[in-house]
Homo-oligomer: A and B are copies of this chain.
Amino acid sequence: MFTVTQLAKRCAISRATVLYYEREGLLQPALRSDNGYRWYGEAELARLERILAFRAFGLPITDIIHLLNREGADQPRLLKSHFDKLEQKIAELRKQQKAIVRFLQQPELLEEKMVTKDRWVEIMRAAGLSEEDMQNWHKRFEQMEPQGHQEFLESLGIEPEEIKKIRQH
């Protein structure tokens, strides 16, 4: 049996977090001794570990309560929906980053770790592709994966207008 602090240390979280989960109805101690001390056993430890695993997905507490109570078949659905929410948040943060870059007029920030358009062209040339080969390649890419083509061009940091031109080609 462990006390709150012992349990918290085992899971590398704070005592406050364990108490918070208790208030939220996620995790109750196995028993309370006469002096009011909380005592946890292996079952509670296992439950806390499950909770923390879900938290590592970024799931809100209310969702976790849901998942722990009725292990519904809707678990995958809930997780997928959460996955999409994460995608949205990421898109929002990327938007903020782009706004900063535009403001500072420093596209280097974004390109820093990226392969840029010029670099890509150099690589393709070094691999033996001619100007015509590359045009043909874009054509195929556009035909077979239009959305993927768009994202690929964006990833090279190419301006929207130029992307349009390349795709219409």
Does A148 contact B104, Cβ atoms closer than 8 Å?
no
Size of A's binding interface in residues, CB under 8 A: 48
Complex Cα gap A94–B152 (Å): 19
- A residues near B, CB below 8 A? 53, 56-58, 76, 79-80, 82-83, 86-87, 89-90, 93-94, 96-97, 99-101, 103-104, 109, 113-115, 119, 122-124, 126-129, 133, 136-137, 139-141, 143-145, 147-148, 151-152, 155
Across the interface, A96 reaches (CB within 8 A) one of B58, B76, B99, B103, namely B58
Collect the chain B residues with CB atoms within 8 Å of residue A143's CB: 126
Does A123 contact B141, Cβ atoms closer than 8 Å?
yes
Does A148 contact B79, Cβ atoms closer than 8 Å?
no
Q: Which 5 A-B pairs have the closest CB atoms?
A: A115-B148, A127-B137, A58-B96, A126-B140, A127-B140
